[in-house]
A and B are shown apart, each in its own frame.
Chain A
Amino acid sequence: MKVDKKKGLLLPLVVVMMLAAVLSACSNNNNGNNAAPSGSASSSPSASASESTDVKKGGEFRFTLASEPPSLDPALMTDAQSSIVAAGLYEGLYRLNSAGEPEPAIATGDEVSDDGLTYTFKLRDDATWSNGDKVTANDFVYAWKRALNPETASEYAYMLFYIKGGEEYNSGKGSADDVAVKAVNDTTLEVTLKSATPYFPSLVSHYTYLPVHQATVDANPAWAADASTIVSNGPFLLKEWAHEDKLVLEPNPTYFDKDKVNFSKVTISLVEDENTVYNLFETGDIDWIGAQAGSVPTDRTAQVIADGSAEVQAIASTYYYVFNTQKAPFNNVKIRKAFSMAIDRQSIIDNVTQANQTPAYALVPPSIAGTDGKLFREMYPDTGFFSENVEEAKKLLEEGLKEEGLTALPKITLLYNTSEGHKAIAEAAADMWKQNLGVEVAVTNQEWGTFLETRDAGQFDIARAGWGADFNHAINFTYDLIHPKSLNNDGKYSNEQVGKWLDESLAATDEKARLDLIAKAEKQAMDDMAVLPFYYYTTVTMVKDDIQGVTSDYAGHIDWVFGSKK
């Protein structure tokens, strides 16, 4: 008798499990069937409320981030998550539009001195902080000097090294007073640079250049770690920050351009798992995936691109392999070329990465701007740099070996940081080298922290690398990666001529002349096969039909601030 009662308790469990087994067997054939909103009734009451309203103004926008912003303090931010949230919270001198061009924000314009060294920004006088105080030129002076102060320990302080006296102050050799930024009056900011930097307007759109509210920061160093203590000046205010769970933003009623702001609420959930993000999109719990705000699971990418439910957009990041140019065999340019020419990039994109990436034959990605409204790659296409040619590669390898006095290649190891995606690419590459060159390359992986240390120490033959834009200029992909003195030149590629051209490009006053020099340096580096470029990244984005004006910016970060809901 007792037993029968227990069976009653057991039954629901049994039923649930059997159902799970049965349904999983027959649910494979339901592709892209997200039209029927089965709707998770319990989770978001606001979802149903916003569905009924049909106005341009208002409406909630919901997306996810894989992890919460480590900081919302402009001086301490270093990552995509922080910058995506900060784009809503703060307003700097300029704001980049989706194409990556700086547009006036707090500054209405700037004047540049003839030598290109001194920038005078005119600030609007109707911008306020969320506590009612006016945003003045002093807020910028304070914020920049604070980020440069060695005691602030800002990792991105080097973004401000363009300012005269900035690096000296940061290294303790100069004082704050020697940093050449000053407030002429409340609405005039004057900056003197170390050397002419025509992309400075683009730089001041970077988050390290955002202003902060002095009294708030001075009173509480941890001011940006909680919603209740943040004082900001952007289109949105941080209403709630449930750590590790979600951030809720609402329009700033005192924002000077508040007519441009449409969403009445923005909810950012912190969801790490890609499949979960996709499921949330399917059930209508979020409105967007992609561009660092969640990503479409790799095994679904091909399908969502094919059925048109996702969009693919080029972004300013390059995937490449670094050769250790200081060590045999890759100290030899012919051997480097042989390895690069033996890779069939399109085949790797079609069969492995599957997100319509563009094969890369150089370093600067296609979404980086050039001049006169043209993109850099439109002005200097990377098509003629080198070709994939197995016969030629074989010949080069033989010649290279002869030059080095070798009869066979030493043991070569390809190092990548542990990830399924990198592993698949590494194995495909190793297979191509084996097929095309008859070379055995061992692939090995290390956990992220270990990997970085090994690569920095030069303990590799070939290592995986990726580079994303800090600002929208080709110099960011050349000076940083191939200049002999750059700390990010991990393969220690050293061609003094390339260094010289890049130095000259920084000093050039004419933008076209500068880009010519950069292109020359890039071409030379590719002739030397300084690195092995693989592809230019893309981002796969999905958005609900009723959301407008949300896109991926040139760098591949979601640009949501001035979007709207139908």
Chain B
Amino acid sequence: MVAFVLRKVSFMVVTLFLLASLTFVLMNVIPGSPLQSEKATSEQVKKNLEAYYGLDKPMFERYITYMDNLIHGDLGVSMKKKFQTVERMISSSFPYSLRLGLVSVVTSVAGGVILGTLAALYHRRFLDHFAMIIAVIGLAVPSLIMGPLLQYIFSVKLGWFSVAGLKGPLDYILPTIALSASSIAVIARLIRSTMVEVMNGDFIKTAKAKGLTGHMIVWRHALRNSMLPVVTYLGFMIANVITGSVVVEQIFAIPGLGKFFVSSIIDRDYPLIMGTTIFYAAILLVGRFIADIAYVLVDPRIRLKGGKAGA
């Protein structure tokens, strides 16, 4: 287990390094500059700004400086937002995305498992069709449509929720639905298809023969086996969701991390591009790492391999 973890961690560090390097090169070679503005000011002013941000130096030199700072935990200062450190921008916006993301993960798993299980247990009956129709809607309607729709109906017309912001617990409801709809659908479909298969497996028949009750079978055997693909999916999904959705955060005016992924690139805010990319990659890698470990915990076959009772 220790060797497994060590190998994974060193792999993560190498990945991060390569990714940071690649991003640095790419953002520098694409057209545009952090100093771009519609109004040309004066050549002199431009030179002063280039000197100020070190943009007059060759790319390789800037790369070495950046990496050196990065190793020392310094992500630099935004070139667009004057005197705001990238670290502060990420650390003050991430909690919003994280909270909303976690609520959304829990909602997705709960909603997906419930829908999927129902569909599997009532395979090819009304509840199955019904659950799958909901799943298809969730998957087919993007948050770009769902967000404004929910906002218009429940905030503007019915006045049940506030239009924007994330101030109280109620404010989480609409963004969470918009953010979770598609994951609920994906998880429900994953659960349904594996569970239908699992329920026909020999070991379920054995369990039935042993006289276990219906819900014990579903809970102890079927669901646990059906969770495997969900765990794989969760690794990606968590990383995506907790780093903030550009669309949902924009619609509900949530001051989260999501918008920086887009705005940093539009502004060519080099330090912020690097900061958000590295941060997102780190979260994604950790998410996958946790998923790997969760796999070991959930999958009885993997546990058997490592356990004493093996063949």
A35-46 interface code vs B (CB 8 A; 1 in, 0 out): 000111111000
Q: Which of A70, A167, A244, A487 contacts B40 (CB 8 A)?
A: A487
Contact present for A283 and B156 (CB under 8 Å):
yes
Stretch in B14-22, B29-37, B289-297 touching the partner? B29-37
Chain B CB within 8 A of A189 CB: no
**Whole-angstrom distance between the Cβ of A36 and the nearest chain B Cβ:** 9
Instruction: State whether the Cβ of A151 lies closer than 8 Å to any Cβ in chain B.
Output: yes
> For A283, what are the chain B residues with a Cβ–Cβ distance below 8 Å?
155-156, 159, 162-163
- Is B45 a contact partner of A279 (Cβ separation < 8 A)? no
Cα distance, A276 to B152, chains bound together (Å): 9
A209-247 CB contacts (< 8 Å) to partner B = 221-222, 224-225, 242-245
How many angstroms between the C-alpha atoms of A282 and B156 in the bound complex? Answer: 7
Bound CA–CA A161/B41 (angstroms): 11
- CB atoms of B82 and A225 under 8 A apart: yes
Q: Kindly provide the distance from the CB of A395 to the nearest chain B CB, expressed in whole angstroms.
A: 36
Residues of chain A with a CB closer than 8 A to B110's CB: 9
A161 to chain B, nearest CB (A): 7
- Residue B13, interface by CB 8 Å: no
Binds B, one of A302-310, A345-353, A451-459: A451-459
Q: How far is the CA of A273 from the CA of B245 in the complex (A)?
A: 14
* Residues on A with beta carbons closer than 8 Å to the beta carbon of B149: 20, 24
| Nearest-neighbor residue (CB-CB) of A33 within chain B | B157
Contact A276 B159 (CB under 8 A): no
- Distance, CA A510 to CA B155, complexed state (A): 59
Q: Which of B89-128 contact A (CB under 8 A)?
A: 89, 92-93, 110-111, 114-115, 117-118, 121
Whether a CB of chain B sits under 8 angstroms from the CB of A49 is no
A39 to chain B, nearest CB (A): 6
Bound CA–CA A247/B242 (angstroms):
25
Residues of A within 8 A of B215 (CB): 1-3
Segment 126-179 of B: residues with Cβ below 8 Å from A: 130, 134, 137, 148-153, 155-159, 161-165, 167-168, 170-171, 177
The reply on B83 being an interface residue by CB < 8 A is yes
B221 close to A (CB within 8 Å): no
Q: Which residues of B contact A24 (CB under 8 A)?
A: 149, 152-153
Partner of B152, one of A155, A167, A279, A488: A279
Is B60 interfacial (CB-CB < 8 Å)? no
B255 touches A170 (CB 8 A): no
Question: Which residues from chain B contact A6 at a C-beta distance below 8 Å?
Answer: 114, 117-118
B206 at interface (Cβ–Cβ under 8 A)?
Answer: no
* A243 vs B255: C-alpha distance when bound (angstroms): 8
Does B40 lie within 8 Å of A276, measured CB to CB? no
Query: Which segment, of A254-262, A264-272, A400-408, A537-545, faces chain B?
Result: A264-272
Measured between beta carbons, the chain A residues less than 8 angstroms from B42 are 157-158, 161, 167, 487
Q: Report if A563 contacts B (CB, 8 A).
A: no
A contact residues, total (Cβ < 8 Å): 75
A272 pairs with B253, CB closer than 8 A: yes
**A-contact bits for B212-240, CB 8 A (1 contact / 0 none):** 00110011000000000000000000000
In the complex, B252 has a CB within 8 A of chain A: yes
A273 touches B251 (CB 8 A): yes
Q: Which of B49, B84, B137, B164 contacts A155 (CB 8 A)?
A: B49
Q: How far is the CA of A488 from the CA of B117 in the complex (A)?
A: 64
Cross-chain contact of B81 among A71, A221, A279 (Cβ < 8 A): A71
Q: Any chain A CB within 8 A of the CB of B38? A: yes
Knowing A42-B162, A43-B162, A153-B49, say if A70 contacts B82 (CB, 8 Å): yes
B49 to chain A, nearest CB (A): 5
Q: Which residues of A contact B164 (CB under 8 A)?
A: 43, 269, 271, 276, 279-280, 285
Give the most central of A14, A280, A466: most B CB within 10 Å.
A280
In the assembly, what is the distance between CA of A154 and CA of B81, in Å? 13
B48 to A153, Cβ gap below 8 A? Answer: yes
Q: Are B163 and A242 in contact (CB under 8 A)?
A: no
Contact of B48 among A7, A27, A150, A242 (CB under 8 A): A150
Complex-state Cα separation, A487 to B46, whole angstroms: 12
Encoded as 1 (CB less than 8 Å from any B CB) or 0, chain A from 478 to 504 comes to 001000000110000000000000000
A272 and B250 form a contact (CB under 8 A): yes
Q: Within the complex, which residue of B32, B82, B255 is in contact with A449, where a contact is CB–CB below 8 Å?
A: B32
Question: How many whole Å from B29's CB to the nearest CB in chain A?
Answer: 12
Are B153 and A23 in touch, CB under 8 angstroms? yes
Contact A170 B45 (CB under 8 A): yes
Q: Is the CB of B157 within 8 A of A73?
A: no
B278 shortest CB reach to chain A, Å: 20
Asked if A224 and B82 make an inter-chain contact with CB atoms under 8 angstroms apart, the answer reads yes
Partner of B51, one of A23, A153, A271, A449: A153
Which of B32, B93, B117, B168 has the largest count of A CB atoms less than 10 A from its CB?
Answer: B32
A30 to B152, CA, bound (A): 12
Query: Judging by beta carbons under 8 Å apart, are A2 and B218 in contact?
Result: yes
List the 4 shortest-distance A-B pairs measured between CB atoms, nearest first. Answer: A449-B32, A38-B159, A153-B52, A2-B215
> Could you pull out 6 A-B pairs where Cβ atoms are within 8 angstroms?
A2-B218, A13-B111, A27-B157, A269-B253, A449-B266, A449-B268
Known: A17-B137, A42-B171. 5 other contacts (CB 8 A): A23-B157, A39-B159, A453-B33, A453-B36, A487-B43
